[in-house]
Amino acid sequence: MDTDLLLLLIVLLPAAGAVLNGLLPLMWPQLRRSEAAIGAVGTACVAVPFVLALVLFFQGFAEPYVGSFYTWMGVGDFSVSVAYRVDHLSLIMALVVTGVGALIHLYSIGYMHGDRSFWKFFAYLNLFIFMMLNLVLADNLLLMFLGWEGVGLCSYLLIGFWYEDFKNSQAATKAFVVNRIGDFAFLLAMFILVREVGSLDFAEVFAAAGEMTAGTLNAVVFLLFIGATGKSAQIPLFVWLPDAMAGPTPVSALIHAATMVTSGLYLLARMSSVVLMAPTVMGLIAVTGALTALVAATIAIAQTDIKRVLAYSTVSQLGFMFMASGVGAFFVAIFHVVTHAFFKACLFLGSGSVIHGMHHVEHDLRRAGYKDPFDPQDMRTMGGLGRFMPRTRWTYLAATLAISGIPLTAGFFSKDEILFKAFEFGYDGHLFAWFVWSVGIGTALLTAFYMMRSYMLTFEGSHRWPMAQRVHPHESPWTITAPLVVLAALSLVGGFIGLPKLAEKAGLANWIHGYLVGHGTHHGPVVEAAATAHVSVGIEVVLIVLGSLIAIGGVWWAWRFYALHELTGDERIRLRFGGLYRWWQRSYYWDEFYDKVAVRPVVGGAENAFAPFDNRVVDGLVNAVARTAQQISRMARHLQTGVVQAYALAIVLGVVVVIALMVR
Amino acid sequence: MDISGAYDSILYDIAGGFSLLVLLLAGIVCIVWDIFENDEPVLPFVAAMACVVGIVWEVRNLDAGSSTVFYDSIRAYGLASYINITILLSALATVILSVPYLKRIKHGYGEVYALIVFATAGAVMMGTANSLVTVFVGLETMSISLYILAGLVRRDEGGIESALKYFLLGAFSTGFFLYGIALLYGATGTMYLPEMASGFIERGELTLLFWAGIALFFVGFLFKVSAVPFHMWTPDVYQGAPTPLTGYMSTASKAAAFAALVLVLYYGLAPMPVAAWQTALAVVALVTMVLGNLLALVQNNAKRMLAYSSIAHAGYVLVALTAGTSQGYAGAVYYLLIYSLMNIGAFGVMALLEWDDKEGRLQTIDSLAGIGFRKPLLGVAMGVFMFSLIGFPPFGGFFGKVAVFAPAIEAGYTWLAIAGVLASALSGYYYLRVLYVFWMRTEEQADPAVRARAFPVSFSSAAVVVTCALVLLVIGFIPYVRDLTQIYFDASVFATMP
């Protein structure tokens, strides 16, 4: 098929799904009940683009192909088109978005069953996929920004999906506001580029980047990075993501784990040739990533809500990806985006399955007369669920092992590659990379520990919910478990697309490196930092063994610890770490900090300092304008007497005025 | 006049004036048929078919080179086709919307459709005129048909008021218009627009006679497009006329008058220094925008509000004409198309939501509280129309506003464009208020009569409203519809006076 047609279909089918699922049930309320049809349409509108993207994938596109569909009004030399770029980078992203997206759509059919706004959910979800595809396929920064804003909007709508609960809409608002800060930086970067380059097309920006002054270049890259920290939840803008878990679990899996939050990494990878010209900012990126990874991992240890553990884990993993970008290994960041999409989506969907089961427990408890509050997301009242939900348990375990980096699972390859690249970059003479590497090693250990902890507390040990002898959860239906199985399988084997350098000795190439960066004379869409020093094979072997040991050690430690102590394990850690633990529990008081230094002074200051000004001057001015307008309006209305003679007189007066203006 | 070549060019003439001839024929068929079969239900179909045939014909001829037919009295193809499509679309929508509406108010007379078709024929003649005589004949054909249509509901005092006011003031302004044409003829010695242009270049000087003539001539147009201070008839007439026909008055007849003004400015007066009338048009544009929007603020009646809004929109188009460049003229013509779609749609929705049996004369906007939830299709469509009228991207109205304000800025009338933007910001208040009432109030706050009423929406009416809304969503993104300057307005016509 024609590439242009394929592209259009890939992008427009989800939009069509959103329109169908959004408008038809709005118009005909009786359609809102037909969940099967809505779910089928919604899933098909993502699954078909996945198949079409596969067709493009197998067609190659070693050279980027740009399909331009429409040129928006040009101003002078500056014009912006709706143009989509097919190259290896955008194809990988499109495949992840549509592939994982389709699975999560399928999952949602079961998960959202019976919800009052089932149709709305699928309409938003399809709209999200449409926006996300615009983001990753765009050939210029403006179209990308439109997608960027669009996914932000969908995220806002979906976090606040159950808006009846005030807490949820607060979380949605928080996500929205924090994201705006990042978007503002992105916007500023675009302004600078328009001024300096006169175009926002990627090809032209890349070509002109070398001619910019170092100061301008640093500013652009820095602003793009700030934009990325907003969307991808890095320090200092990560606070919105844990709260975003208020949305339905499929949303957390799709938007806040697998796709949207990785768009900051995609932005950096897309602009890799420009980012590489600003080494100072790269250092900042790597250090920010490392700190975020460590901070989020420690917080995750002390969380008791199963979804919040996963949320902080996502923040931490995104930190790993930023580390990779900061040491110039953008392709590894994308590699980790892919593997992370597999295992984190699997974990989230698994947690959704658990919550689904615990909701039934809650339901049964209420029927049995249980009155106390019950939180279906609290791991403290779970335990031993593996007996009742075997498919959920094994898939969750597979994904846990993958994220921990147990050898030969997907996470092992991608995380080890990140650590290796950091090490290599330090070896190359960039001292900050040593710091990044050592933080990464420590965080990897923590990751294995807290992920295994969440598995142990949820699926192993004793049943800790009330009346455990009488009520127990059940395994979820196949629409929920089938995506879990697929994703778990991918979590186990998905890493073989990026074999370590060591494998070259055995004649096995690193596929994703060749695909994204290119080899020999061929250049792919992603550029990497040129390494001058080469790490010897011996050191490489040591590093891999170290990485494996850390993962296995962390998992084994958590398994032993929580198998022995169960819930009291947390208590032991708390006693061991004391005040530090409380900091973890309260996420280092970030929210309180922001509240104190940013929100309160601004709001309070505005109330105290600006209130009189606002009340008297601004309000007064606004009211005066409104009053004057209405008064003039009323006065003028008196002219409209309804008497024809008066109208005729007005015409005569008008004639006199017009003649006076024209005759000279 | 030499008519010896009449038979040689007759086929070419018929092709060029095809849609006009089809309309006239359809009008005659309707009126004659109605004599034998009173209120025959097929008549609207005949009228609609005439419009459809005309639209198809004109669409096919959009790319043909512009030329003149019938002894240079009307223009054909190209720009003329574009204008005709605008007029014919409004007419088609009006016919479709009128059928259920008039049936409901029990005034479904057959001659209504004959009159709509005749008015459209007049509008087409005017909008494609190449001589001052054609402008006048077209104007009168259209106006007289509209006078009758405005007073269609004879028993209702609103209808009588509407028709009488329209007729008296229309006749009054026609006097000025005709006098202006006479003076122009005296000053230039020709009725044909291009010959006027060459006359200026030959003569090199302009007499007082000419200036007075052009001023009076403008007044005639300004009355038709309801520019301030010639606008006072508009709210009263719009309010009393049957709602779909009000929609017609505010779109087709306005579009035709503006199109004729563009043709006169572009073909007839092009070689003159534009500065001569820029001041006059700028002043009128300013007061029209400001007063139109201000007065719309305090209207409680939906039709009066839309009437003042249409006055304000006339001001926006005048801004584009003030620029006096080919971009300005192109922007005005483009705006007319978009404006027609928005207004036909908005009046269409109001016609469907009418409950007072007095052509909406007594109906307040507030009475329709929460109607969006009962009639989501109409509510959503109204949302599109209101946002588009404000000029909110990505709706068509936004692109229209860009097309009319940008040329004014380029021509140095930045202050006028700023005034226009501010005025349209003001308009947000009363347009959004409609949506506020439709969607953010509850049905309990609606008038009891509204709650008791079912508001049936026929498929054809819904189709018209939805089509208008959908077109407004996409029209800004179709470059071919937008880039009129490159297609029809050739800047080389502008040769200034020596």
Instruction: Give tens-digit pLDDT for A474-531.
Output: 888 888 899 999 999 999 998 888 888 777 777 788 888 888 888 777 778 888 887 7
Taking the C-alpha atoms of residue B264 and residue B67, their distance in angstroms, rounded to an integer, is 15
Q: What residues of chain A lie within 8 A of the CB of B406, using their CB?
A: none
Confidence of residue A268 (pLDDT cuts 50, 70, 90): very high
Distance between start and end Cα atoms, chain B: 30
Three-class DSSP category at B5: coil
Chains A & B: contacts with CB separation below 8 Å: 93
pLDDT score for A534: 79
Q: B211 — contact with chain A (CB < 8 Å)?
A: yes
Taking the C-alpha atoms of residue B17 and residue B134, their distance in angstroms, rounded to an integer, is 13
Helix ranges restricted to H, A60-165: 88-111, 118-137, 141-159
pLDDT score for A84: 92
- A208-231 pLDDT tens trace: 888 888 888 999 999 999 999 989
Question: Are B216 and A659 inside 8 Å of each other by CB?
Answer: yes
DSSP state of B363: -
Q: What residues of chain B lie within 8 A of the CB of A653, using their CB?
A: 229
Say if CB B340 and CB B255 are below 8 A apart. Answer: yes
- A540-582 pLDDT tens trace: 889 999 999 999 999 999 999 998 888 888 888 888 887 788 8
Confidence of residue B492 (pLDDT cuts 50, 70, 90): very low
Q: What residues of chain B lie within 8 A of the CB of A26, using their CB?
A: 376, 380
Q: Lowest-pLDDT range, A325-334, A367-376, A377-386, A504-513?
A: A504-513
Say if CB B202 and CB B286 are below 8 A apart. Answer: no
Confidence of residue B50 (pLDDT cuts 50, 70, 90): very high
Residue labelled with tokens 């005309």: B54
- A343-376 pLDDT tens trace: 999 999 999 999 999 988 998 888 888 888 888 8
Question: Are A629 and B218 inside 8 Å of each other by CB?
Answer: no
Q: A657 — contact with chain B (CB < 8 Å)?
A: yes
- The chain B residue lying nearest A659, using CA atoms, is B215
Interior angle at CA B467, CA B463 and CA B468, nearest 5: 120
Average pLDDT in chain A: 86
- Angstrom CA distances, A494 to A105, A265, A348, A414, A486, stand at 21, 19, 18, 10, 11
- B89-131 pLDDT tens trace: 999 999 999 999 999 988 888 899 999 999 999 999 999 999 9
Question: Are B298 and A658 inside 8 Å of each other by CB?
Answer: no
- Angstrom CA distances, A480 to A155, A477, B153, stand at 22, 6, 64
- The chain A residue lying nearest B236, using CA atoms, is A642
pLDDT score for B45: 93
Q: For residues A582 and A438, which has the higher predicted lDDT (pLDDT)?
A: A438
Q: What residues of chain A lie within 8 A of the CB of B165, using their CB?
A: 644, 647
Q: A647 — contact with chain B (CB < 8 Å)?
A: yes
DSSP A354-417: HHHHHHHHHHHHHHTT--S---TTBGGG---GGGT-HHHHHHHHHHHHHHHT-TTSHHHHHHHH
Q: CA A386, A391, A394, A399 torsion: positive or negative?
A: negative
Q: Which of A169, A174, A145, A149 is nearest to A157 (CA)?
A: A169
Average pLDDT over residues A454-459: 93
Residue B494 has pLDDT above 50, yes or no: no
pLDDT score for A641: 65
- A393-418 pLDDT tens trace: 999 999 999 999 999 999 999 999 99
pLDDT score for A604: 60
Question: Are A632 and B222 inside 8 Å of each other by CB?
Answer: no
Question: Are A27 and B377 inside 8 Å of each other by CB?
Answer: yes
Taking the C-alpha atoms of residue B129 and residue A62, their distance in angstroms, rounded to an integer, is 59
Q: B209 — contact with chain A (CB < 8 Å)?
A: no
β partners of residue B187: none
Confidence of residue B140 (pLDDT cuts 50, 70, 90): very high
- The chain A residue lying nearest B210, using CA atoms, is A663
Q: How far is A243 from chain B (nearest CA, A)?
A: 29
Domain boundaries, chain B: 10-496
Q: B304 — contact with chain A (CB < 8 Å)?
A: no
Average pLDDT over residues A99-115: 90
Residue B491 has pLDDT above 60, yes or no: no
Phi first, then psi, for residue A213 (nearest 5°) are: -70, 160
Say which of A653, A658, A664 has its CB closest to residue B218.
A658
Residue A73 has pLDDT above 60, yes or no: no
Task: Work out the burial of residue A180: count CB atoms within 10 Å of its CB; fewer than 13 is exposed, 13-18 middle, 19 or more buried.
Answer: middle
In B228-257, the residues whose Cβ lies within 8 Å of chain A are 228-230, 232-233, 235-236
Say which of B283, B295, B376 has its CB closest to residue A633.
B295
pTM: 0.63
Q: Which of A252, A337, A289, A659 is nearest to A437 (CA)?
A: A289
Average pLDDT in chain B: 89
pLDDT score for B286: 95
Q: A71 — contact with chain B (CB < 8 Å)?
A: yes
Say if CB B76 and CB B60 are below 8 A apart. Answer: no
Q: B377 — contact with chain A (CB < 8 Å)?
A: yes
Q: A27 — contact with chain B (CB < 8 Å)?
A: yes
Rg (CA), chain A: 28
Question: Are B376 and A26 inside 8 Å of each other by CB?
Answer: yes
Q: B35 — contact with chain A (CB < 8 Å)?
A: no
pLDDT score for B203: 72
Select the residue from B147, B298, B309 to test the A interface by mutation, using most A Cβ atoms within 10 A.
Answer: B298
Say which of A632, A648, A658 has its CB closest to residue B280.
A658
Confidence of residue A52 (pLDDT cuts 50, 70, 90): very high
Say if CB A50 and CB A91 are below 8 A apart. Answer: no
Average pLDDT over residues A432-436: 88
Q: For residues A639 and A551, which has the higher predicted lDDT (pLDDT)?
A: A551
Select the residue from B168, B232, B261, B286 to test the A interface by mutation, using most A Cβ atoms within 10 A.
Answer: B232
Taking the C-alpha atoms of residue B49 and residue B41, their distance in angstroms, rounded to an integer, is 14
Say which of B236, B295, B402 has its CB closest to residue A637.
B295
Binning chain B into helix, strand and coil, the percentages to the nearest 5 are 75, 0, 20
- A60-70 pLDDT tens trace: 888 888 888 87
Confidence of residue A650 (pLDDT cuts 50, 70, 90): confident
Question: Are A648 and B229 inside 8 Å of each other by CB?
Answer: no
Question: Are A659 and B212 inside 8 Å of each other by CB?
Answer: yes
- B451-481 pLDDT tens trace: 888 888 999 999 999 999 999 999 888 877 8
Question: Are A642 and B230 inside 8 Å of each other by CB?
Answer: no
Say which of B169, B291, B426 has its CB closest to residue A647.
B169
Say which of A636, A642, A648 has its CB closest to residue B169.
A648
ipTM of this complex > 0.85?
no
Average pLDDT over residues B156-161: 85
Three-class DSSP category at A83: strand
Question: Are A640 and B235 inside 8 Å of each other by CB?
Answer: yes
Q: For residues B49 and A617, which has the higher predicted lDDT (pLDDT)?
A: B49
Question: Are B169 and A661 inside 8 Å of each other by CB?
Answer: no
Residue B5 has pLDDT above 80, yes or no: no
Taking the C-alpha atoms of residue A283 and residue A223, their distance in angstroms, rounded to an integer, is 14
DSSP A35-74: HHHHHHHHHHHHHHHHHHHHHHHHH--SS-EEEEEEEEEE
Please, which residues have CB within 8 angstroms of residue A97's CB and are 6 or more apart in sequence? Answer: A129, A132, A133, A136, A259
Taking the C-alpha atoms of residue A208 and residue A201, their distance in angstroms, rounded to an integer, is 11
Q: B466 — contact with chain A (CB < 8 Å)?
A: no
Residue B31 has pLDDT above 80, yes or no: yes
Please state, as a whole number, how many other Cβ atoms lie within 10 Å of the Cβ of residue A656. Answer: 11
Q: A622 — contact with chain B (CB < 8 Å)?
A: no
Q: B218 — contact with chain A (CB < 8 Å)?
A: yes
Taking the C-alpha atoms of residue A187 and residue A141, their distance in angstroms, rounded to an integer, is 10
pLDDT score for A322: 94
Rg (CA), chain B: 22
- The chain A residue lying nearest B223, using CA atoms, is A651
- The chain B residue lying nearest A642, using CA atoms, is B236
pLDDT score for A294: 93
Contacts 24+ apart (CB under 8 A), A27-31: A27/B376, A27/B377, A31/A119
pLDDT score for A608: 60
pLDDT score for B496: 42
Confidence of residue B275 (pLDDT cuts 50, 70, 90): confident
Q: For residues A80 and B16, which has the higher predicted lDDT (pLDDT)?
A: B16
Q: State both tokens at B283.
A: 């002043």
Q: State both tokens at A661.
A: 């203006």
- Angstrom CA distances, A106 to A41, A97, A157, A343, B413, stand at 10, 14, 20, 17, 58
Average pLDDT over residues A165-174: 78
pLDDT score for A616: 61
pLDDT score for A165: 75
Q: How far is B112 from chain A (nearest CA, A)?
A: 26
Residue B495 has pLDDT above 80, yes or no: no
- A113-142 pLDDT tens trace: 888 888 889 999 999 999 999 999 999 898
Q: A177 — contact with chain B (CB < 8 Å)?
A: no
pLDDT > 90: what percent of chain A?
40
Tell which phi-psi region holds residue B29, choosing left (phi > 0), alpha (psi between -120 and 50) or beta: alpha
Q: What residues of chain A lie within 8 A of the CB of B176, using their CB?
A: 651, 655
Confidence of residue B149 (pLDDT cuts 50, 70, 90): very high
Say which of A633, A647, A658 has its CB closest to residue B297.
A633
Q: How far is A86 from chain B (nearest CA, A)?
A: 23
Q: What residues of chain A lie within 8 A of the CB of B426, using their CB?
A: 629
Say which of B219, B297, B376 has its CB closest to residue A658.
B219
Average pLDDT over residues A19-27: 85
Please, which residues have CB within 8 angstroms of residue B101's CB and are 6 or more apart in sequence? Answer: B242, B243, B244, B351, B352, B354, B461
pLDDT score for A664: 59
- B287-323 pLDDT tens trace: 999 999 988 988 889 999 999 999 999 999 999 999 9
Tell which phi-psi region holds residue A76, choosing left (phi > 0), alpha (psi between -120 and 50) or beta: left
- B326-376 pLDDT tens trace: 889 999 999 999 999 999 999 999 999 998 888 888 889 999 988 988 888
Residue A160 has pLDDT above 50, yes or no: yes
Say which of A636, A651, A664 has its CB closest to residue B173.
A651
Q: How far is A650 from chain B (nearest CA, A)?
A: 6
Task: Work out the burial of residue A243: count CB atoms within 10 Å of its CB; fewer than 13 is exposed, 13-18 middle, 19 or more buried.
Answer: buried
Say which of A72, A642, A651 has its CB closest to residue B223.
A651
Q: What residues of chain A lie within 8 A of the CB of B233, using their CB?
A: 647
Question: Are B284 and A658 inside 8 Å of each other by CB?
Answer: yes
